[in-house]
Amino acid sequence: GISLHPVSCTLGLQFLIRNNQLNMVVYMRANDAFRGMVSDIFSFTFIQEFMARELNLKVGKYYHSMGTMHIYEPDNQWVKHVLNESNDQTFISPKMPQGNNWAMVHELMHYEEKLRKKELTMNWVDIQHTELSSYWQQILVLFSIYQMIYYHEEVDQMLFDHLLPVYQHLLLNRWPTKMSRGMVSNDRKFI
């Protein structure tokens, strides 16, 4: 018989150094325009920035190429809601520290594993006492909040308050029912 092997949606990542900048081209077989593309672009540009910092280059242009784009029917109502929502907020994403970030990544992954297995919980004071830079502490706060969401616990307001506005916004939009009432972002109440 014929054996069909599924082909990954991500076919390749190409990095090009041009004018002291690291450009990136991503080739996708297919892409979910609602769920997949958002997380894909975030993940791929994270890799691009990580490599640029390691190579002591500026982050250059990002290109996202796909064969097909789709939206799954169960997401249709949510897509309409998002398209109809007006959002005039703009956010500045934090910049990864220059140089070699591997030590920070290894430490972060140590904490991530313990949080995922619920062998550890962390509050803001715990996170401040790590060896992580402020950039990587923000990621650890996100991991800690995700642990609370995953295990159906109330989100720690102090952790949320110490997040950058861009991360607050993303959390409130991704998990509006999981976030406590009254959590604010940029002096604007949500929920």
Share of the chain above pLDDT 90, in %: 72
CA dihedral 101, 24, 168, 135 (to 10 degrees): 10
CA dihedral 45, 99, 55, 39 (to 10 degrees): -10
pLDDT in tens, 46-81: 999 999 999 999 999 999 999 999 999 999 998 898
CA 102 to chain centre: 18
Q: Which residue has the tokens 């919980």?
A: 121
Task: Report domain extents, the chain.
Answer: 10-81, 102-189
pLDDT in tens, 76-113: 998 898 888 777 788 888 999 999 999 999 999 999 99
**Full 3-state SS string of 86-103:** CCCCCCCCCCCCCCCCHH
CA 31 to chain centre: 17
pLDDT in tens, 114-149: 999 999 999 999 999 999 999 999 999 999 999 999
Q: Structure pTM? A: 0.81
Q: Which residue has the tokens 């861009």?
A: 166
